[in-house]
Chain A
């Protein structure tokens, strides 16, 4: 038997009721993330990646299906021992300012989880907070600052330090880099990689910057309209994507080298993704897929193993028709 995954999602559905029918943000996801992985979830806005991340940690009510964390049913664990769950799993938000109290300085922000969980006395908490600052490379002088007097990168460091205060084994992060500037973003990227290695964390990161996912994530899941289009080990998948959607998504990433840009062939998809209120029958990508055949419109493809070792939900994957570049 293989090692128990850190996160196991099965049959997960999250539907939002609205006046004009349910929005099926997440619509049947099977996902297994091994312990110690750095896993990326990518896809366009509205594909359900953030909803799924929130559902994994229980910030979002699940319509159907289950999430197991370290083998335990998440919902039951959270109901029985909310604090114990919080010590195992932490979430990092896209906007660090929105996730902090504007009236608490950095010291108070970092001390709060320790107080809630009754960890240590004043001196021990102080030592722990100093360790946390070192971990995220913030100076001691930051302790009495309020969030508004910190830069965007420093704020994200504080929210990472706060998430690490309880020594969790799993971090789930929702676009933690998109609010940051280029040169600061690379500082935080390196911080995540470094922490993951040093602390042996399992990190799930929702991202839309595919170049960064390629740099730091060991595994990746590509989502489209509430479902998984493709998943696998990042490098082989990005080098040879099997699903036409992944192919077009990856081909859209520009290179910073104008010589490569001039020669590069891109697949421009027509139109926008269909509404998750009313996903198309058959393959969800069939309405925009340049190689769709009759089967794609009637039969929804399941994930199956493909050449790069991962799996793709495409009837044509690995056939002579599948490559659209």
Chain B
């Protein structure tokens, strides 16, 4: 087992979302632990629940949708799900830094960039006004924004997309968080800027030794910076393990299909993008059994009746775990639990 205790531990998390007419089980019994100094990628397609599972316990879901959370999400010795709104807001600001896909959802367009950062540093990192200002400038500098003294007095609309993304990362770091959560940080960016931002996240992770949670559907980004990968399908974890194990020797039929559908830019041969037939299930009417059954080539009768649980197939620091008994028995894979 891993010795370092988790700095963020989610257990048996169930999240139901309600609109006036329907209810959706977006996250269905998910457990994951985040440790200091690691970069964990949470991979899945739209609607797989990757964002809901990560931002839900922090109270950062869309307004206007009623949410019911069950389970446990422990950070700093407290269960986030049991906190009131004010406590959660404080905890979120001190413990978690969040980077969104759209920088304008984090920055206030009416305020200059620098004072927004300084405010965060003053309030949550406990700095004096002067110290907070110089901290803000050094954060801008650290996130690779040229001429940070000048940018301090700029409004968000005066910065380009790539620069705004950096400013938002600076804002997320201003409160000295323990966990940096990046929700699709590179999806809206061009390839060259994408590479710059991933580099910056990797560099921050290394320098500060914080944990990074990367929510993404971009396998290339995962390969670039993650140590560990959690693959989510229709609200459940289907596979998790080290990035090397999961990306190079995927076991679950969904992970295999997902990776086969991503063309490798650098491979010599052209395999042609292979596809997974069909669509993810709707999570309004829940069927028992494996959620991937309808799209799976290996499906058996039992798959439709019994929900597969994660089984550990390799024991090392990262524990490769897979929720597919069919592949495990067909390929004679040893199970450790």
Q: How far is the CB of A279 from chain B (nearest CB, A)?
A: 16
Q: A253 touching B191 by the CB < 8 A rule?
A: yes
Question: In the complex the two chains form, is B273's CB within 8 Å of A190's CB?
Answer: yes
| B28 sits at the interface (CB 8 A) | no
Cα A315 to Cα B270 with chains together (Å): 32
Q: CA A268 – CA B265 in complex, angstroms?
A: 18
Is B279 in the interface zone, CB < 8 Å from A? yes
Complex Cα gap A151–B272 (Å): 24
Q: Which residues of A contact B275 (CB under 8 A)?
A: 183, 186-187, 190
Are B279 and A151 in contact, CB atoms less than 8 angstroms apart? Answer: yes
B198 CB to closest chain A CB (Å) equals 8
Decide if B85 is an interface residue (CB 8 Å cutoff).
no
Question: Closest approach, in angstroms, between the C-beta of B298 and any C-beta of chain A?
Answer: 16
Partner of A210, one of B191, B196, B261: B191
Q: Is residue B258 contacting chain A, with contact meaning CB distance below 8 A?
A: yes
Give the distance in Å from the alpha carbon of A210 to the alpha carbon of B195 in the complex. Answer: 14
Given the complex of chains A and B, what is the CA–CA distance between A87 and B222 in angstroms?
Answer: 44
Q: Is residue B16 within 8 Å, beta carbon to beta carbon, of the partner chain?
A: no
Q: Does B315 contact A (CB under 8 A)?
A: no
B248 near A257 with CB under 8 A, answer yes
Interface residue A167 (Cβ < 8 Å from any Cβ of B): no
Q: Is B10 an interface residue (CB 8 A)?
A: no
Given known contacts A257-B247, A269-B192, A272-B160, A183 and B264 CB-to-CB distance under 8 angstroms? no
Known: A45-B190, A190-B272, A210-B265. A254 touches B223 (CB 8 A): yes
B160 CB contacts on chain A under 8 angstroms: 272
A64 at the interface (CB under 8 A from B): no
Closest to A266 in B: B195
Tell me whether B148 is interfacial, beta carbon within 8 Å.
no
Q: Which residues of A contact B190 (CB under 8 A)?
A: 44-45, 208
Interchain CB contact under 8 A, A257 and B45: no
User: Does B272 contact A272, Cβ atoms closer than 8 Å?
Assistant: no
Q: Does B89 contact A (CB under 8 A)?
A: no
- Interface residue from A181, A187, A258, A264 paired with B45 (Cβ < 8 Å): A181
Taking CB atoms and an 8 Å cut-off, the chain B residues in 77-95 that contact chain A are: none
**CB contact list, B219-253 vs A, under 8 A:** 219-224, 226, 243-244, 247-248
Residues of chain B within 8 A (CB-CB) of A153 are 279
Judge if B194 is at the interface, Cβ distance under 8 Å: yes
Interface centre among B45, B221, B223, B265 (most CB of A within 10 A): B265
Q: Enumerate chain B residues within 8 angstroms of A190, measured Cβ to Cβ.
A: 272-273, 275
Q: Is the CB of A215 within 8 A of B258?
A: no
Q: Is the CB of A261 within 8 A of B224?
A: yes
A211 touching B264 by the CB < 8 A rule?
yes
A185 vs B260: C-alpha distance when bound (angstroms): 12
Does any Cβ of B come within 8 Å of A184's Cβ?
yes
The interface residues of chain B lying within 8 Å CB-to-CB of A271 are: 146
- In contact, A261 and B257 (Cβ under 8 angstroms): no
B295 to chain A, nearest CB (A): 9
**CB of A297 within 8 Å of the partner chain:** no
Measured in the bound complex, the distance between the Cα atoms of B174 and A109 in whole Å is 51
Any chain A CB within 8 A of the CB of B163? yes
Q: Does B68 lie at the interface of the complex (its beta carbon under 8 Å from any beta carbon of A)?
A: no
B247 touches A256 (CB 8 A): yes
Contacts of B128 in A (CB 8 A): none
Q: Please, how many angstroms separate the alpha-carbon atoms of A44 and B257 in the complex? A: 29
In the complex the two chains form, is A252's CB within 8 Å of B194's CB? yes
A32 CB to closest chain B CB (Å) equals 25
> Ordered nearest first, which 4 A-B pairs have the shortest CB separation?
A254-B220, A186-B261, A186-B273, A44-B190
Known: A256-B222, A256-B223. 13 other contacts (CB 8 A): A45-B190, A184-B45, A186-B276, A211-B263, A215-B270, A215-B272, A250-B265, A254-B198, A256-B219, A256-B262, A257-B223, A266-B195, A269-B192
